[in-house]
Amino acid sequence: MQIKIKALTLNRLFTTIAYNSGDEVSLEGLSKSSGVAKNTIKKYLESALLIRRIHRIDKTARRFERATTFKVYLTNPSMRAALFGPVNRSSDAMGSLTETAIFSQWFHETVFVDNLHYARWKNGEVDIVACEKSSQKPSWVVEVKWSDKPFANPGELISLVEFIQKNNMEIEPLVTICPK
């Protein structure tokens, strides 16, 4: 399927998406930020190879029937640096870029990537949740932190623990950190 989008429109949209890689977004929000119509964004997101959409699940690993938000990731986090310049260790963008880099490792396996989600509910979130295709049961989880706070304050991982317990998962989660 070929999508015809003007170069300037595509540039505005891609710049907005690149800046928000790893963040939860909505079509409405992307439209407001980029000035591109929601229908154009939807068509582009469904056919683009430079980005991937990851869908949200709740804390019991159920998908939403009428989801309005999703996370968007660049397939290669260096594209953000090409647009906005390099970031240093202390940049606020490092957490999202680290999450983007981790996700990008799985994007080449199309069967596998369709089973990747993020979980978010009223008082919590888990960055990466892999679910079994047939049962939608979570098989593993990853929490990405660009700090060393979880060592000093394990309460930083309460959402992760809650998700694992709620879904009777018997595996150890993977938690990334950035030491000082």
In whole angstroms, what is the distance from residue 132 CA to residue 127 CA?
17
Give kind and range of the element (H or E) at residue 142: strand 138-144
The one-letter amino acid at 92: D
Question: Does 52 map to a domain?
Answer: yes
Expressed as residue numbers, the domain containing 20 is 7-176
- pLDDT: which is higher, 118 or 3: 118
Question: Does 1 map to a domain?
Answer: no
Q: Hey, which residues does 138 pair with through a beta bridge?
A: 131
Question: Does 17 map to a domain?
Answer: yes
| DSSP characters over 84-96 | H----TT-TTHHH
Residue 2 confidence (pLDDT): 59
Question: Does 53 map to a domain?
Answer: yes
Instruction: Report the domain count for the chain.
Output: 1
Instruction: Specify which of 32-36, 115-119, 152-156 reaches the highest per-range mean pLDDT.
Output: 115-119
What is the average pLDDT value for the chain, to the nearest integer? 88
Tokens for 150, please give them. Answer: 């979880």
Q: Environment class of residue 147 by beta-carbon count within 10 Å: exposed (0-12), middle (13-18) or buried (19+)?
A: middle
Record the pTM.
0.86
Question: Does 2 map to a domain?
Answer: no
Confidence band, pLDDT 50/70/90 cuts, at residue 180: low
